[in-house]
Structure 1
Amino acid sequence: MDTDPGSPVTLRHVQRAEPRQVAGPDAQVDNKALVIAPGDFRRTDPFLLMAEDWFSSTGFDWHPHRGIETVTVVLGGVLEHGDSLGNAGTLGAGGAQWMTAGRGVIHRELAYRDEYAHTLQLWLNLPSGQKLAQTRYQDLQQGDYGVYTEPGVRVEVVSGSTGGARGPAANLWPVTGLFVTLDPDTTYSQLLASHDRAFAYIVSGTATVAGRQLWEGETAWSDPVVDPGSEDDSVSELVFTTPPGNERTTLMLFSGRPIREPVAAGGPFVMNNESELRQAYVDFEEGRFGPVPRLARVRNR
Structure 2
Amino acid sequence: MTATAPVRRTVDRVRTKTLGGPTEQVDRNALVIAPNEVHNTDPFLLMAEDWFSTPGFEWHPHRGLETVTVVLDGKLEHGDSLGHAGALEPGDIQWMTAGSGIIHRELAYHNEFAHTLQLWLNLPGDKRMVDTRYQDLRRAEQATVASPGVLVRVVSGDTSGVHGTAETHWPITGLMVTLEPGSSYTPVLPAQDRTFAYVVAGAATIGGTAVGDGQIAWSDPMGGDEPSSLDLLATDPEQPTTLMLFSGKPIREPIVFGGPFVMGSRAEIEQAFADYRRGRFGQVPRLARL
Kindly indicate whether the alpha-carbon contact (under 8 Å) linking 1:187 and 1:239 is maintained by their aligned counterparts in 2: yes
Q: CA deviation at 1:244?
A: 6.4
User: Residue 77 of structure 1 corresponds to which residue in structure 2?
Assistant: 74
| 1:270 aligned onto 2:267 | no
Could you tell me which residue of structure 1 aligns to residue 225 of structure 2? 233
**Deviation of the 1:185 alpha carbon:** 1.3
CA separation in 1, counterparts of 2:5 and 2:241?
A: 29
CA distance in 1, matches of 2:2, 2:25: 49
> Offset of 1:171 from its aligned partner?
0.8
- TM-score, normalised via structure 2 length: 0.98
Q: Distance in 2 between matches of 1:297 and 1:244?
A: 40
Tell me how large the CA RMSD over aligned residues is: 1.2
Q: Show the 5 A alignment for 1:1-301.
A: 6-226=3-223, 232-243=224-235, 245-298=237-290
Q: Which amino acid aligns with 2:149?
A: G
Q: Tell me which moved more, 158-167 or 173-182.
A: 158-167
Contact 1:140 1:168 survives alignment (8 Å): yes
1:145–1:166: 8 Å Cα contact kept in structure 2? no
Q: Distance in 1 between matches of 2:15 and 2:195?
A: 14
**CA positional deviation for 1:84:** 0.1
CA distance in 2, matches of 1:188, 1:171: 24
Unaligned runs of 5+ in 1: 227-231
Q: For 2:58, what is the secondary structure of its paired residue?
A: strand
**TM, length-normalised to structure 1:** 0.94
Give the letter for the 2:264 counterpart.
N
Following TM superposition, by how much is the alpha carbon of 1:246 offset from its aligned partner in structure 2, in angstroms?
Answer: 3.0
Q: Distance in 1 between matches of 2:236 and 2:66?
A: 38
Identity %: 56
Runs (4+) of structure 1 exceeding 4 A deviation are: none
Once residues 83 and 238 of structure 1 are traced to their aligned partners in structure 2, the CA distance between those partners, rounded to angstroms, is 37
How many residue pairs are counted as aligned between the two chains?
290
> How far is the alpha carbon of 1:5 from its aligned partner?
8.0
Question: What are the ranges of 5 or more consecutive residues in structure 2 without an aligned counterpart?
Answer: none
Deviations 1:125-178 (A, max 9, x none): 100000000000001110111111122211100101111221110010110000
